[in-house]
Amino acid sequence: MNKTVKIFIGVIVGLIVVIALLSIGGGNKKIEQTTCYKKAIIVWSPLESRKIRTQEIIKFLKKYCLTLNVQKKTLEQIKDAVLSEIASGKGPDVIFVDSDFLLKNKNIFASQSGKKWFNLKDYPNSIQKDFGEKTIAYPLTYDTLVLFWNKDLLNSIGYTQPPESFEGLLEIIPKLRKMDLSGQIILSPIALGSSQNINSSFETFLAMMKMLNPDTKKTSGDISKALYKTLDFYTQFTSSKSEYFSWHPNLSNQRDAFLSEQTAMIVDFYSFKNEIKKRNPRFNFEIAPFLQFESNPKKTNYIEPYFFAVTKKSSEIGWLFLEIFDSRYDEIAKDLELNPIKINTGKNAEGVGKILFNEMIVGDNFSEINKDYIKPYIKEDIENWLSNQRDIKQLINSKQASKFYNKK
């Protein structure tokens, strides 16, 4: 054996010895221990489980002796069952939930702070304003109000695009509306102005109220005036005395009316598109941004965010799952066809995706408003405003304005 070979073998042996020493704790270097939980992470979600249980997520959790059990439940099923399940010491580790339920039940969820992988600035202002230094849930997706419009009906009067503002809407109504000899609406330009047969009347009303009254203060007097002004504008679309009469509470539900071409436009949540595709895949419609007011340059909309929230009993393993989930967020959101709530994920979208992104950026979930209390009143106000404004004003002053906002 020549001298060069001996030197080479000596170097290799030396390296092996050094590596062996380091691997057993040489050089005062500590070995990182991975906690072995020996548990299944239970997730309640309406989302398709196989697209959440990706190979990368399963492999990551396996290092911690964790498995993933995604149980498919609707949002209503989750909200109906989770409180009693948690009270009994059972229940899921992670749940899909909306913002209203999340904020009302913060005490049952495990917050987190200081995690390097999570940055609240990755999300729109509507999310940031409801979170302090501690994040109580992982923002997942959102739904928002948009304008659905029938291309054939608008094209028939020479419009290739829908109105962009409420002012533009007022201009198009007389051209599009059709009525019979008795004054009944045959073709409604837009389903607006009622609450009984309009799915999103409350959310539309709140967004409209914010746009019409941008400087409203949280005083009973200011709130009352804002409610009067919004009711007066909103209900003109159901007043037979108004030149903008375009809808009636006795007509069928706005969604049915839209699909049967009884109305040319509706304001509804974007998720309604899924129902359209199921009921009439060939229906010739498009989606446009929520109408704004030209008189108010500050845009707004109603946004409904959805989250994955970790129950308190599962703080460590729940947020561990969300850490690996976050690292795969872009591809999972795409596979599940979620509206991405991360700004960097959605900012380069095109077409309808771009519309939704812009609506998300200006959107508000109106979390400061006492929605549970005020919603039934607003719906009642809308229906009664035309018949007796004086009585409604008294009701607003006495019971609604003072409790319009949540107490901090």
pLDDT in tens, the chain (408 residues): 554 445 444 545 444 444 444 444 444 434 456 799 999 999 999 999 999 999 999 999 999 999 999 999 999 999 999 999 988 888 999 999 999 999 999 999 998 877 889 998 999 999 998 876 678 899 999 999 999 999 999 999 999 999 999 999 999 999 999 999 988 999 999 999 999 899 999 999 999 999 999 988 889 899 999 999 999 999 999 999 999 999 998 899 999 999 999 999 999 999 999 999 999 999 999 999 999 999 888 899 999 999 999 999 999 999 999 999 999 999 999 999 999 999 999 999 999 999 999 999 999 999 999 999 999 999 989 988 877 776 778 778 777 888 999 886
Query: What is the number of domains present in the chain?
Result: 2
The amino acid sitting at 170 is L
Chain mean position to CA 290 = 15
Shared domain check, 317 and 284: no
Q: Show the CA angle centred on residue 308, arms to residues 302 and 310, nearest 5°.
A: 135
Task: Answer yes or no: is 333 within a domain.
Answer: yes
Closest C-alpha among 302, 332, 323 to residue 138: 323
Cα separation, 88 vs 246, whole angstroms: 52
Shared domain check, 74 and 131: yes
Shared domain check, 78 and 167: no
Cα separation, 100 vs 81, whole angstroms: 16
In this structure, what token pair is assigned to residue 321? 């799952």
The sign of the CA dihedral 277, 278, 279, 280 is: positive
Shared domain check, 75 and 85: yes
Q: Classify 191 as helix, strand or coil.
A: strand
Closest C-alpha among 125, 101, 142 to residue 270: 142
CB 401 within 8 A of CB 241: no
**What is the CATH number for 78?**
3.40.190.10
The predicted model scores a pTM of: 0.89
Cα separation, 198 vs 192, whole angstroms: 7
Q: Classify 177 as helix, strand or coil.
A: coil
Task: Answer yes or no: is 256 within a domain.
Answer: yes
Task: Answer yes or no: is 29 within a domain.
Answer: no
Shared domain check, 61 and 49: yes
Shared domain check, 273 and 189: yes
Shared domain check, 275 and 230: yes
The domain in which residue 328 lies consists of: 39-143+303-364
Report the DSSP pairing between strands 263-269 and 138-150: antiparallel
Shared domain check, 220 and 344: no
Task: Answer yes or no: is 3 within a domain.
Answer: no
Shared domain check, 169 and 68: no
Task: Answer yes or no: is 347 within a domain.
Answer: yes
Shared domain check, 135 and 83: yes
Backbone angles phi, psi at 288, to 5 degrees: -130, 165
Which phi-psi region, left, alpha or beta, contains residue 373 (left: φ > 0; alpha: ψ -120 to 50)? alpha
Shared domain check, 357 and 376: no
Shared domain check, 319 and 379: no
Closest C-alpha among 399, 305, 320, 314 to residue 360: 305
